[in-house]
Structure 1
Amino acid sequence: MLQPQNQNKKYEHLFSDIDQGYLKIPKFQRDFVWSKAQTAKLIDSIIKGFPIGTFIFWKTREELRHIRNLGNIALPETPKGDAISYVLDGQQRITSLYALRKGLRITTNDKKEIDYKDIYVNLEFEPDSDEEVVSVDKPQESSSISVYDLLNSSLVNLIKKYNDGELEKIEKYQKRLINYDFSTIVISDYPIDIACEIFTRINTSGQELTLFEIMVAKTFDQDRNFDLAKEYEKLNCSEGPEKDLKDAGFDTIPPSTVLQCISAYLCQQVRRKDILKLDKYEFIESWEIVKNGIFCAVDYIRTHLRIPVSKLLPYNALLIPYSYFFIRNGGKSPTNLQNKLLTQYFWWASLSSRFSSGAEGKIALDLKKMDDILNEIPPTYRGEELNLTLDKLKWYWFSTGDAFCKAILCLYAYFEPKSFRSNSIVKIDNSWLKVSTSKNYHHFFPKGYVKKQGIEEWKGNSILNVTIVDDYLNKREIGAKAPGDYMKKFEDRNPELHNTMKTHLIDDMELYGVWGNNYETFIEKRGERVLEEINKRIEPSL
């Protein structure tokens, strides 16, 4: 890498680079947020000869996603084959100065429009006065000139409007603005990840760029009409007839997981450094392939594993090996053996806290397991066997953020739980699954009832005491009642209640201690039932 170059630029030279398409503001920069008063103070500092900080530019031949318009001015494209300088530090200052030079109208984030022709220099004051000579309001009691006119009008054209003393001040102001030495540092040909690291370190907001923001900038290609940010939005929620993850109930998949799906396909590694090294054109070419792989993986998870929404997934990372499998399998349906092995992998990874730490390295290893499954070879889990016992399961604390709990909830969802009241299938919704008090979760032995019985909270909040229900009405009807009492009411309303409860892995309410309100019996029997279903999936007959 070349060393940074210190350069001083005059006003005209600085902004001719923008006019010719050589200086751009990358899209990962903050939106323009400066007020009119801040811009006025900046000009006042320049007129007084004060330092206003250094601009830092990154010069590269990489094309990044960048801002195309400033206010009412469309910025030109960079001439083909030429290097571009991107603003890493000084966006607010350089935008303000350019807006003044061009007399732009810019709408800020709070929808206020700033007219940059309406910032004025008060000609009553001397240039070196302690007073601020630049203001956002036109002085009513004294003569003034707009900064726009100051920069764009010749003295000849101003003779009729101003007296000799005022013209002398105007000439002085013009010279100070036009001849001001703007300090700039140019870093040339740095890798994008280093340039973004520099941006992060000098960014006064202290907000670190995400990997996705960097890859959005890096993979942008105008000729191919590829914008990763827009493509991700369409993947999540397309406005047209195209397939999207929202319709499938999987719209909570983060962009980082999508990037890892692409990297898994292209290089079988998913670390940050591997993603940053991906070739731009290979990345763009792979987008549709990986997108289809993700859709196939989601379809499989929803239909074969019967996990209806992404919020139930123990780990978003599970989508990576599954999308890899379907891409390598050419989108074909798995064979019977592959189905069993894919199911086995899901439950092994979900219940073993597989991705709770060191996820990137483990995903790379699991891609090799997917290669085995593609070849119909059972992957080895030697040394990583899942030893799940009833004792571990019985009093496992229920938490919606816990991968193990989510896996058990996935098992509950597999049986398409039905409403206690109507025997209709429960609707499971992403928006309802964020907290343990959500509309979809119900403690079968209510927390209030358990507390009254003197049962410790660590026992009462067992994952085995949780059922998936349809809406808040069930909770309102149940309150802190004993299950033997409230279930009697549902039995009167729902003649199919016995079959309904089987969809909750509660096979016999008498045997499970429901009618007798026996909590320990309920946890024991339901735990045995849950463990039976898990073992079927972990140790399939091949």
Structure 2
Amino acid sequence: MSELKTLFKRVEYDLDGLLHFIDLGDIALPDIQRPFVWTNAKVRDLFDSMYRGFPVGYFLFWESESETGVKQIGVGAKQFKKASRLVVDGQQRLTSLYAVFRGQKVLDANFKERQIEIAFRPRDGKFEVTDAAIRRDVEWIPNISDLWASGKSSYTLVKDYLRRIKEKIDLPEDQEEAIAHNLDRLFDLRKYPFTALEIASSVDEEQVADIFVRINSKGVPLNQADFILTLLSVFWEVGRRALETFCHSARTGAKIDGKASSFNHLIDPDPDQLLRVSIAFGFGRGRLKSVYQILRGKDAETGDFSDAKREAQFEVLKNAQAEVLNLTNWHQFLSAIVGAGFRSSEMISSNNALLYAYAFYLLGRKRHGVDEHILQKLIGRWFFATSLTGRYTSSPETVMDGDLARLRSITTAEEFCKVLNDIIESNLPNDFWNITLPAKLDSSSARNPELFCYIASQNLLGARVLYSHKTVRDLIDPSLQTKKKPLERHHLFPRAYLEGSGIVDIRHINQMANFALLEWPDNISISDDAPSVYVPKVLARLDAAVADQMMQDHALPEGWESMAYDHFLEARRTLMAQVIQKGFNVLK
């Protein structure tokens, strides 16, 4: 029987010692950690607790003897390939302390640098987040970072502060003493004691991830993508920074290398998501666990690791990532998704489906030479189908791995198209359209892939907004920056009307089949009238042929306004499924 051993030891530090080890690169953040997310107010509260002598928690470090990727705490170009201890838990606290004591900027979740400025009032020992009023008030030290950055002794700092404040305010002797005491206490936070639990170097990355998740229930669980990003930090830091630059550009519209940007209206990608695309395109793999070992240079037969194998595999990754981050490829792919009727991020129910579709786009374009006009419709159709069926909702890596495996033996554009079309057709038999899809439309969820595909189909069919001369496609354009949304979801059977008829269950009232997109003035004018009252009024202003087409495009049964509510829902779900199928067939 194997003997269970404690995987950690306890070590005592003072804050000055911790900061010194960070300066040396001996303590660093592993790239399994996330960006800095604390607010300045939370940093203020940390300093207030320490100043009052309260405990503020322990740190969890990982002793590391291997070349595990690290990133410097704070902002700077200096990178360390080796560190004796990596921060597993306590990143936000330690980053806060280092940033304030060293006057360093931090990089936040949006890849933006920011300076943390915490103010201190010596008269009463009060901490506050610095603002314009504090900067004008002589009593405040507007940025406590200056105390330690100055290199002056506490005696000199107290003397300088008292001299400056006496020029503006008359201070009684007892207040001078209190100020001196409080400043000394602040200055001596450098000696604040911390306990660290240090995990042994024998513990591997997966065990560390498990420990991190177990002790930090609010943390985001780590995955294999995090560890592959770690390898990038060590062996290809330029590649990791390129991923982060691309993601920052997608959010802000900032130009990349002074050229175009990756900004779009469909997705704000994260580095780990784009990494998955690179892995799928470059290695033909959906599961990342095996790729992590490959990138470390592991020989599949001997189990040994070698630098030569690692370098060869990184070359594959570098070439794949170059295509993934190529702005022409990126925007051409996104145009295929828009061409399939999905015009904004509000219509994307699965980022997995979107990013995996990008991998297939790159395989078709770069590996198999599919003509762009064919590939555009094929990838749009693929995304539509995988979204509608929820293909990558459960065990996405396993499903993607299987899909990629079917492409490994093919060589031509025709074979590539056939594989994808065969998968689509096998998952969308007649029973899906006639039985499965109407049943799935029995839902009150506002974020439903079937609903998004229904709206995408209306876009593809050029459907007009209900009771309007404008099209759904035009008014759902994300570039429209209006104070009020041009389209609103309207209850065809108004809620107040249904409640007055004895139907009070919100889920029943908010059925997907009871909604249609209307321009907001129409939505307001219809109010709570019964369909049998408002429908004849709005139809009277429309040409009969236009009204008939509109009823078809919005899946409204003939004479629906006079139907019993439950009968209407059942009939409309069937028609909505037919609209989705009709829109999908436009992509053939």
TM-score (norm 2): 0.62
Out of 272-281 and 408-417, give the one that drifted further. Answer: 272-281
Alignment of 1:379 onto 2:425: no
Q: Choose from 39, 61, 69 the match for 1:63.
A: 69
Residue aligning to 1:36: 47
Out of 193-202 and 312-321, give the one that drifted further. Answer: 193-202
Residue aligning to 1:127: none
- Aligned equivalents of 2:146, 2:50: Cα separation in 1: 9
Q: Choose from 352, 361, 380 the match for 1:326.
A: 361
- Aligned equivalents of 2:196, 2:272: Cα separation in 1: 37
Offset, 1:328:
0.9
Q: Please state whether the residue corresponding to 1:379 is helix, strand or coil.
A: helix
1:339–1:285 distance in 2 versus 1, CA, 3 Å: closer
Residue aligning to 1:114: 144
Offset, 1:323:
1.0
Residue aligning to 1:298: 334
1:210–1:440 distance in 2 versus 1, CA, 3 Å: farther
Out of 233-242 and 277-286, give the one that drifted further. Answer: 277-286
Alignment of 1:466 onto 2:515: yes
Match runs of 1:445-484 below 5 Å: 445-450=493-498, 452=500, 461-470=510-519, 472-484=520-532
Structure 2 segments unaligned to the other structure (5+ residues): 1-5, 105-114, 120-127, 131-142, 156-174, 297-313
Q: Does the aligned pair in 1 maintain the 2:100–2:116 contact within 8 Å?
A: no
Match runs of 1:131-142 below 5 Å: 139-140=177-178
Q: Choose from 207, 212, 230 the match for 2:219.
A: 207
Residue aligning to 1:309: 344
Q: Please state whether the residue corresponding to 1:88 is helix, strand or coil.
A: strand
Match runs of 1:105-504 below 5 Å: 107-108=117-118, 111-112=129-130, 113-115=143-145, 117=147, 139-140=177-178, 146=184, 185=198, 187-188=200-201, 191-203=204-216, 206-211=218-223, 219-220=232-233, 222=237, 226=241, 228-240=243-255, 242-246=260-264, 249-251=265-267, 257-271=273-287, 273=289, 279=295, 281=314, 283=317, 285-292=319-326, 293-303=329-339, 305-330=340-365, 345-346=382-383, 348-368=385-405, 374-377=416-419, 378-380=421-423, 385=429, 387-388=431-432, 390=434, 393=438, 396-426=442-472, 427-428=475-476, 439-450=487-498, 452=500, 461-470=510-519, 472-495=520-543, 498-499=545-546, 502=549
Q: Does the aligned pair in 2 maintain the 1:88–1:199 contact within 8 Å?
A: yes
- Aligned equivalents of 1:20, 1:536: Cα separation in 2: 64
Q: Does the aligned pair in 2 maintain the 1:321–1:366 contact within 8 Å?
A: no
- Aligned equivalents of 1:482, 1:196: Cα separation in 2: 57
Q: Please state whether the residue corresponding to 2:178 is helix, strand or coil.
A: coil
- Aligned equivalents of 1:62, 1:16: Cα separation in 2: 21
Residue aligning to 2:28: 24
Deviations 1:491-516 (CA, angstroms, capped at 9, x unpaired): 45455x7436635634898x711575
Q: Does the aligned pair in 2 maintain the 1:314–1:407 contact within 8 Å?
A: no
Deviations 1:207-257 (CA, angstroms, capped at 9, x unpaired): 2355476666553465567164443222333233624343xx203667665
- Aligned equivalents of 1:524, 1:215: Cα separation in 2: 49
Deviations 1:404-431 (CA, angstroms, capped at 9, x unpaired): 3333333233324323454112322679
Q: Does the aligned pair in 1 maintain the 2:10–2:195 contact within 8 Å?
A: no
Q: Does the aligned pair in 1 maintain the 2:497–2:528 contact within 8 Å?
A: yes
Q: Does the aligned pair in 2 maintain the 1:234–1:244 contact within 8 Å?
A: yes
Q: Does the aligned pair in 2 maintain the 1:24–1:66 contact within 8 Å?
A: yes
Q: Please state whether the residue corresponding to 1:469 is helix, strand or coil.
A: strand
Q: Which amino acid aligns with 2:50?
A: T
Q: Please state whether the residue corresponding to 2:464 is helix, strand or coil.
A: coil
Q: Which amino acid aligns with 1:300?
A: A
- Aligned equivalents of 2:499, 2:98: Cα separation in 1: 67
Out of 8-17 and 307-316, give the one that drifted further. Answer: 8-17
Q: Does the aligned pair in 2 maintain the 1:418–1:500 contact within 8 Å?
A: no
Out of 96-105 and 237-246, give the one that drifted further. Answer: 96-105
1:85–1:362 distance in 2 versus 1, CA, 3 Å: same
Q: Please state whether the residue corresponding to 2:397 is helix, strand or coil.
A: helix
- Aligned equivalents of 1:519, 1:148: Cα separation in 2: 69
- Aligned equivalents of 1:99, 1:257: Cα separation in 2: 29
- Aligned equivalents of 1:337, 1:99: Cα separation in 2: 53
Offset, 1:400:
1.8
Deviations 1:80-108 (CA, angstroms, capped at 9, x unpaired): x6546433356578679878987999625
- Aligned equivalents of 2:349, 2:422: Cα separation in 1: 21
- Aligned equivalents of 1:88, 1:453: Cα separation in 2: 58
Q: Please state whether the residue corresponding to 2:241 is helix, strand or coil.
A: coil
Q: Does the aligned pair in 2 maintain the 1:313–1:406 contact within 8 Å?
A: yes
- Aligned equivalents of 1:25, 1:39: Cα separation in 2: 23
Q: Please state whether the residue corresponding to 2:342 is helix, strand or coil.
A: coil
Deviations 1:31-68 (CA, angstroms, capped at 9, x unpaired): 583643433456x99xxxxx996762443433333323
Q: Which amino acid aligns with 2:24?
A: Q
- Aligned equivalents of 2:338, 2:99: Cα separation in 1: 52
How many pairs align?
478
Offset, 1:10:
8.4
Q: Please state whether the residue corresponding to 2:552 is helix, strand or coil.
A: coil
Q: Calculate percent identity across the aligned residue pairs.
A: 17
Q: Which amino acid aligns with 1:65?
A: K
TM-score (norm 1): 0.66
Q: Does the aligned pair in 1 maintain the 2:25–2:83 contact within 8 Å?
A: no
- Aligned equivalents of 1:11, 1:460: Cα separation in 2: 59
Q: Which amino acid aligns with 2:28?
A: K
Aligned-residue RMSD, C-alpha: 5.3
- Aligned equivalents of 2:349, 2:98: Cα separation in 1: 50
Q: Does the aligned pair in 2 maintain the 1:400–1:406 contact within 8 Å?
A: no
Offset, 1:327:
0.5
When you count helix as a share of all residues, which structure comes out higher? 2
